[in-house]
Amino acid sequence: MKQEGVDNFFSPHPFFFEMVNPRYAIIIHDKIFPFVSSNKWQIYVIDLFESKFYSYVFDNNPQKFFPLCYIRYFPVSKTDGFVFIKFGQIDADEKEMYYPPESFKMAEHFREAFAFYPLNKFIEDIKNQSLFFDNYIVERISENFSFRYLDDIESIKDFCFYYIKKSLKTGSSRLIKLDLKTFAKEVIKPSIDPDSKFLFYDNGLLMAISSSIEEINDKQNLLKISKEYLNGNNAKSASFILSKEEQFVDITYKYIAKYNLFGTISPGFDYKDTPKHYKIKLYSLESSSVLLEFITKYPFSNPFLITLVEKNKDRDEFLLIL
């Protein structure tokens, strides 16, 4: 359905909004019917050059074999890219937590798939009132497997997409490269640490970060962190002795990747019991020691945000934004 008048365009709060290139924006929100529970998604493609928008209603019934879970956009240039679509009702963490499914009905909820819809084709199909998700599904998995994707990635590198496929029966994991030009898949690492839940790009190399915590005694824990370049030869690991009160902050994985730093908070963040002050420590993987320590009234955890910004190449000055 084509409609004129972008100036009068109105959309409820969307769960997906992306300016995919200088000409087009894509907006998706739940289509609300009065007094009726709806699983329908309203998809808009806004053409800023022609001052028109196109709308399409997608029935995302959870009873479908593969209901849509979420959508992201991966650019490959300033004007082109892929609409990434994740199908299924639970993510990898939930799947591993509740595996094996207790019933056939529960097993249906464990099924997953993902697709890469070329942007130009997605826009064309919205205009023509037909979406063909099945044509672009890369892989489907049963209740016995899970997917993990690159974390904190802004774009596809060299038209390649990497993901981890884990067998929940055996616990084994392998790293797979998807060529988005041909949609050919290649196993580039047949065995990868199943705890490698965070993947990053670093100067063209793919990096996996894993961590584990072991109890030493009733007062101390041993934290182990490793960084491994999956398409290179370099690896780094370090161990740290933490007090029982110190809580490793998982939002600092990006700082481990970029700055070789991670943070802890003590006492651990608790929504129900909020202390007056928190002790924050920033550790360095390079020196295996505390780099910075301070007291704050703000917790170093979601939903609060702390961003660590490198101020110079010597890494001796940092700005903390609370």
Instruction: State the DSSP string of 61-125.
Output: -TTSSS-EEEEEEEESSSS-EEEEEEESSS-HHHHHHHPSPSSHHHHHHT-EEEEEEEHHHHHHH
pLDDT at 285: 85
CA-to-CA separations, 179 to 163, 246, 304, in angstroms, rounded: 12, 42, 37
pLDDT at 130 over 60: yes
**Averaged pLDDT, 153-163:** 72
pLDDT at 314 over 90: no
pLDDT at 305: 37
pLDDT at 307: 47
pLDDT at 125 over 90: yes
pLDDT at 195: 60
Give pLDDT tens digits for 279-290: 888 888 888 888
Which stretch of 70-79, 100-109, 269-278 has the lowest confidence by average pLDDT?
Answer: 269-278
pLDDT at 273: 62
Q: Report the alpha-carbon distance of residue 133 to residue 81 in Å, rounded.
A: 16
Compare 3 and 94 and report the one with higher pLDDT.
94
* pTM check: above 0.85: no
**Averaged pLDDT, 16-30:** 91
pLDDT at 155 over 70: no
How much of the chain, in percent, has pLDDT values that exceed 90?
26
Compare 211 and 52 and report the one with higher pLDDT.
52
pLDDT at 82: 94
Alpha carbons within 13 angstroms on the beta-carbon side of residue 38 total 14
Give pLDDT tens digits for 172-218: 888 888 999 999 999 988 887 656 656 676 666 677 787 888 999 99
**Averaged pLDDT, 123-136:** 93
pLDDT at 25: 95
Instruction: Calculate the CA 23 to chain-centre distance.
Output: 26
Compare 139 and 30 and report the one with higher pLDDT.
139
Single out the residue of 211, 213, 216 nearest to residue 228, CA to CA. 211
Give pLDDT tens digits for 252-309: 676 777 778 788 888 765 656 666 678 888 888 888 888 888 787 765 543 343 444 3
